[in-house]
Amino acid sequence: MIVFIQVPCLNEEDTLPLVLASMPTTIPGVDKIEILIIDDGSTDKTIAVAKRLGVKHFVKHTRNRGLARSFHDGVNYALAHGADIVVNTDGDNQYPQERISNLVQPIIKGKADMVIGDRQTHQIAHFSRFKKIMQRFGTYVVNQAAGSDLPDAASGFRAYSRESLYRLNIITQFSYTMETIVQAGNKHLRIASIAIDTNPKTRESRLFKNSWHHMTKSAEAIIRSYFMFKPFAFFGGMGLLLFIAGSIPFVSYGINALIIHHRGAHLQSLILGVTLVTASLLSFSLGVIADLQRINRVLHEDTLERLKRLQFDKAKTTTKSKRS
Ligand SMILES: Nc1nc2c(ncn2[C@@H]2O[C@H](COP(=O)(O)OP(=O)(O)O)[C@@H](O)[C@H]2O)c(=O)[nH]1
Ligand SMILES: [Mg+2]
C-alpha cells in the first residue's frame, strides 16, 4: 500500500518546513509514504526548501494555475506513480499532518472511498460568527446536493482512494472541495469524516479575499455541480411552478369569457397566462436538453474512467514489479 501526501503550494517557503516536519514516517497498514509538492508557480524558495528537506516528488506549474488544477495535476502524478491513497494537506500548516495516519485508516480498512478531516469549525477561535454560520450553511447545501451528511464540506484535509480518484473529475476552477463531495455523493462513493483540531493560523487565507468571496465562489461551485447531476430537478421544478402560475389567469380568463360570457374577461389575464405557460414549456424543454447532456456526460465519464484505468493500472503494476 502506497500513500502519496500531496501539498499544493503557492509561495509557502515559510510554513513548508513545519508541514514537512510533522509528516508521518510510518502508518499502520502502509508500506510506503511519498511526499509530493505541487508548485503552483511559486516565486519564492518553496521548491529549494522542499528539496533541502528531502522531498523527491514535484509537479511544477511555470505560472499560477489555481488550486483546483494543482489538485488535479497532483492526483495524476500520484496515480502515475502507483499511489493507492492520495492525501491532500495545505502548505500553510493549517492541518495536523500527524493525523494523516488516522485519516487514511477508513480507506485501508475498506470502509470508505474518501475521508474528510472535520475542522470542527464551530470551535475555531479565529473564525468570526458570520464565517461559522456561513460555513454551516454551505455545508448544509453541499449535503443536500450530495445526499450526504458531512460536518465540514470545505476542509482541504482529505484522503482519497485510488478507485475514487478514477471516478472523480474536477471541472470547476475553484472550490474543488465542494465539487468533489457533490460528485462523490452522486456517484455513490462512501465518504467518511474524522474530527481534527486545526493548527494555529499562520497567515490569512489567500484563496479567498473575505467571507463574501468565499460564499459566492462556493455557491457557484455547488450550483454548477447540482446542474451537472440533477438538471431535470431544477428545470422540471421551475417548469411546474410556471405552469401552475400560468394556469390560474389562463383558466380564469377561459371561465369568464367562454362559460359565463362575462364582460370583464381581461385580455391581460390571457396574455399573462400564455406567457407563463410558454415559459414553463421552455423550461421543460431546457430540462430535457440538460438531461440529455447529463446522459452524455455519464458516458464520457465512463470512457474517462476506463482510460484512467488503462493508463494508471499499468503504472501500478510497474511499481509493484519494481518493488518485488
Ligand atoms: N491562494 C492560493 N493558494 C494556492 C494556489 N495554488 C495552490 N495553493 C495552495 O492551496 C493551499 C490553500 O491556500 P490558502 O491560502 O491557505 O487557503 P485556505 O484554504 O482558504 O486557507 C495552500 O497550500 C496554497 O499554497 C493558488 O492559486 N492560490
Ligand atoms: Mg489556509
Q: pLDDT for 46-82, tens place per residue?
A: 999 999 999 999 999 999 999 999 999 999 999 999 9
Shared domain for 205 and 287, answered yes or no, is no
Shared domain for 7 and 118, answered yes or no, is yes
Spatial separation of the C-alpha atoms in residues 321 and 308, rounded to whole Å: 20
Q: Is the pLDDT reported for residue 264 higher than 70?
A: no
Shared domain for 213 and 266, answered yes or no, is no
What's the pLDDT score for residue 59?
Answer: 98
Domain boundary, last residue among 172, 204, 228: 228
Residue nearest to atom 20 of ligand 1 (CA): 205
Shared domain for 218 and 294, answered yes or no, is no
Q: What is the average pLDDT across 162-168?
A: 96
Q: How far is CA 19 from CA 231, 241, 270, in A?
A: 41, 52, 67
Grade residue 145 by pLDDT with cuts at 50, 70 and 90: confident
Pocket of ligand 1 (CB under 6 A): 8-10, 12, 40, 64, 66-67, 70, 90-92, 94, 156, 205-208
Atom of ligand 1 nearest to the CA of 91: 23
Instruction: Point out the least confidently predicted range of 38-42, 98-102, 148-152, 200-204.
Output: 200-204
- Grid coordinates representing 158 are 482529505
Name the residue of 10, 39, 49, 158 to mutate for ligand 1: max ligand atoms within 8 A of Cβ: 10
Whether residue 137 lies inside any domain: the answer is yes
If you measure from the C-alpha of residue 279 to the centroid of ligand 1, how many angstroms do you get, rounded to a whole number? Answer: 43
Atom of ligand 1 nearest to the CA of 40: 6
Shared domain for 176 and 153, answered yes or no, is yes
Q: Is the pLDDT reported for residue 131 higher than 80?
A: no
Whether residue 91 lies inside any domain: the answer is yes
Nearest partner of 304 among 41, 79, 63, 84, judged by Cα: 79
Whether residue 310 lies inside any domain: the answer is no
Label the pairing between strands 158-161 and 85-88: antiparallel
Whether residue 319 lies inside any domain: the answer is no
What's the pLDDT score for residue 302?
Answer: 95
Shared domain for 171 and 235, answered yes or no, is no
How far is residue 300 CA from its own chain's centroid? 19
Shared domain for 180 and 110, answered yes or no, is yes
Reported as half-sphere exposure (CB side, CA atoms, 13 A), residue 313 has a value of: 8
Shared domain for 8 and 110, answered yes or no, is yes
- Grid coordinates representing 75 are 492526483
What's the pLDDT score for residue 263?
Answer: 66
Atom of ligand 1 nearest to the CA of 156: 19
Average model confidence (pLDDT) for the chain?
Answer: 90
If you measure from the C-alpha of residue 230 to the centroid of ligand 1, how many angstroms do you get, rounded to a whole number? Answer: 30
Work out the number of other CB atoms within 10 angstroms of the CB of residue 218.
25
What's the pLDDT score for residue 226?
Answer: 75
Shared domain for 214 and 269, answered yes or no, is no
Q: What is the average pLDDT across 315-323?
A: 75
Higher pLDDT, 126 or 184: 184
Tally of domains in the chain: 2
Name the residue of 36, 43, 92 to mutate for ligand 1: max ligand atoms within 8 A of Cβ: 92
- Grid coordinates representing 309 are 484505468
Atom of ligand 1 nearest to the CA of 12: 25
Look up the domain containing 286 and give its range: 231-301
What's the pLDDT score for residue 323?
Answer: 66
Domain holding 220: CATH number? 3.90.550.10
